[in-house]
A = this chain, B = another copy of it.
Amino acid sequence: MTTVVCRQLAPRVGEPAHNHQLILEAIATSGDADLLVLPELSSSGYVFRDAQEARSLALTSTSDAIGEWIGAVPEGMIVACGYAELGEDDRVYNSAMLFDRSGILANYRKVHLWDQEKRVFQAGQSAAPIVDTEWGRLGLMVCYDLEFPEYTRSAALRGADALVVPTNWPLVPRPDGERPPEVIIAQAAARTNKMPVICCDRSGAERGQDWTEGTTVIDHEGWVAGEADESGVARCELDLRAGRDKRVSEHNHLFDDRRPDLY
């Protein structure tokens, strides 16, 4: 079993030093986690005034700040964290990294950009990475990426045992008693692919934007295994490889049953 911890941080846009400390504290206070997941754009905040502000808050993947995060990770822990990235091509990306004490395991640039992000970020040009780890093969994507079922499916087909998804979910209306729509979509992605989906949302209003605070860890059958408590921490034990065998009945296999000739 893997000890999964999500910390629903409240970064502040335009206060990178504050956010840097939040990330370091999150790592330092999660010593029991095998896999620690932090929100999208943890280092920069989200509600940028314009492209220039986003650029000013972007980090290169070789920056000292990221080096400090890596240096803070205890032995045996893997961390996923979203950040604004200044690429070697001088473009700004909404990125997420998977790293451990040894360094960066994968760097991913969000492919599906939400709304105003299109004004400040460049869309990524590579599909979600799949990283073979001690805890299984982890796919990494960001927020709105999850809402494209062909994208989550393709990660599963490429061998992801579980998806790790830093998010910033803007609060949207929903009927009383319903889960956030993004969680329902994540549950369906988990169930239809037999693949756990781990979503770490953020908290803290930012320039008038409220957040869903919908952090949810979903197991390979699509059921909720963990949600954030009042302090914004979700913690659970999960077998991230539990859905590797895609058989779901005597005669059914989720992948072999597909009919790509008809899609």
Binding site for B on A (CB under 8 A): 111-116, 118-119, 123, 126-127, 144, 147-154, 174-175, 178, 181, 184-185, 187-189, 191-192, 221-224, 249-252, 257-260, 262-263
Contact = CB atoms under 8 A, between A and B. Distances in A.
A249 B114 contact: yes
A5 to B, nearest CB: 22
A174 B259 contact: no
The oligomer's copy count stands at: 2
Given A258-B150, A259-B151, A251 B118 contact: yes
Contacts of A185: 188, 191-192
Nearest to A119: B251
A104 to B, nearest CB: 21
A109 to B, nearest CB: 11
A129 to B, nearest CB: 12
A257 to B, nearest CB: 6
The residue in A111, A127, A192, A251 that gathers the most chain B C-beta atoms within 10 A of its C-beta is A192
